[in-house]
Amino acid sequence: MVRRDVLATGRRLGMTFLGLTIGLLPASTAFAQAPAAPVANQRTFAGDGAIWLHFIKSDKTADFEMVIGKLREALAKSEKPERKQQAESLKIFRSPDPSGANVLYVMVIDPPVKGADYSISNIISESYPPAEANQILVAYAGAYGTPAQNLLNLNILK
């Protein structure tokens, strides 16, 4: 008899703990996704070349092309030598063929600058005043379709 009470109490406590844990997961996930300070995600390429595919909503191509213009301007005006090298090795193409409901933009990076950060959001953030960078990045984020991007690191076949 005592044993059943202990098991029932243990089960109730376990279910209560499980319920609280599951109930708190969305809150902890929200806090984990919204840090107080932005986290810089670097995009580096280790191979001999790279292709970076961008799938852009067909009604947002003007926004994406504005961002690309700002990216090119930022790379050209930068005082950092690696940014100048990045500008030289970066070619950006727009495919005339539709990619589902999206327009495909292809960045060919040949050769990548080893260890250099190619993250568009980081380059924009370091190159423009915060308010302007924020406007550019809002347009950038809103331009992507599904899938958003695909990256290919490439090595030369010998």
Q: Quick one: pLDDT at residue 117?
A: 95
Q: Quick one: pLDDT at residue 34?
A: 33
| Nearest alpha-carbon partner for 139 in 128, 154, 153, 150 | 128
pLDDT at 16 over 60: no
| Average pLDDT rounded to a whole number, residues 101-116 | 96
Query: pLDDT grade, residue 29 (50/70/90)?
Result: very low
pLDDT at 23 over 50: no
Which amino acid, residue 63?
A: D
CATH class of 49-154: alpha beta
| Nearest alpha-carbon partner for 51 in 127, 108, 93 | 108
Going from N- to C-terminal start, the domains of the chain cover 1-34, 49-154
Angle at 35 between CA 30 and CA 38, to 5 degrees: 135
| Rg of the chain in Å (alpha carbons) | 23
- The pTM for the full model equals 0.72
Q: Please state, for a pLDDT cut of 90, what percent of the chain lies above it.
A: 70
141-157 pLDDT, tens per residue?
A: 999 999 999 999 999 99
Token pair, residue 85, equals 């090298």
Q: Please state, for a pLDDT cut of 70, what percent of the chain lies above it.
A: 75
- Mean residue pLDDT of the chain comes to 81
Q: Quick one: pLDDT at residue 35?
A: 30
Q: Quick one: pLDDT at residue 40?
A: 60
Contact residues for 140 (Cβ-Cβ < 8 A; gap 6+): 63, 64, 67, 120, 121, 124
